[in-house]
Amino acid sequence: MKRKHKTGEVFAYLFATVAGTLLLPVVAPVIMWTNARGYADDYSWLPGIQSGGGVTSALAAFVYVVAFAALIGGVAFFASSGGSVLDSPSAGADGSGLGVSATPTPTEAPTLPPVEEETKDADPNNETQEP
C-alpha cells in the first residue's frame, strides 16, 4: 500500500515539474507583476525588477526567462555536437524511418605490388646490383 502512495507522489512531482517548466514564461511575469510572496522585493537587485512589482518587473521577468531558456538550449545544442535528432544516421530525411541502409557497403581492399624473390648471391646492401 505504501508503494502505491510513493508512486503517486513521484508522478505528481513529475507532472508539477513539467507543467511548471512549460508555464514558467507565463507564471514568472505574473508573480513579479503582483509581487506574490514578496518575490519582486527579493529580486529587486536584478536590473528591471522593481520593488513592489509592476508591469516593468513583469516584462523584465519574461526577458530573464526567455534568456535563460535560450542559454539552456544553446548549451544543449553544443553539448550534442551541434547536431539534431534529424541529423542522426538512423533518421530519414523527414526524421522517420531508416535513412541509411542497414547493411554496410563493401570496400575494396588495397592491393600490394608482387614481391620479387631474392637470389642467394644477391647482396641486400648493394642497391646497384641487378637481380
- Convert the pLDDT of each residue in 69-128 to its tens digit: 889 888 888 887 765 555 555 555 555 555 555 666 778 888 888 877 766 665 666 666
Number of domains the chain contains: 1
Share of the chain above pLDDT 90, in %: 25
> Is residue 50 assigned to a domain?
yes
Per-residue model confidence (pLDDT) at position 42: 92
Q: Is a pLDDT exceeding 60 seen at residue 31?
A: yes
- Domain with 23 in it: 1-80
Q: How far apart are CA 40 and CA 33, in angstroms?
A: 8
Cell, residue 108? 575494396
> Is residue 110 assigned to a domain?
no
> Is residue 30 assigned to a domain?
yes
Per-residue model confidence (pLDDT) at position 57: 93
> Is residue 46 assigned to a domain?
yes
> Is residue 100 assigned to a domain?
no
Average pLDDT across the chain, whole number: 78
Burial class (CB in 10 A: 0-12, 13-18, 19+), 29: buried
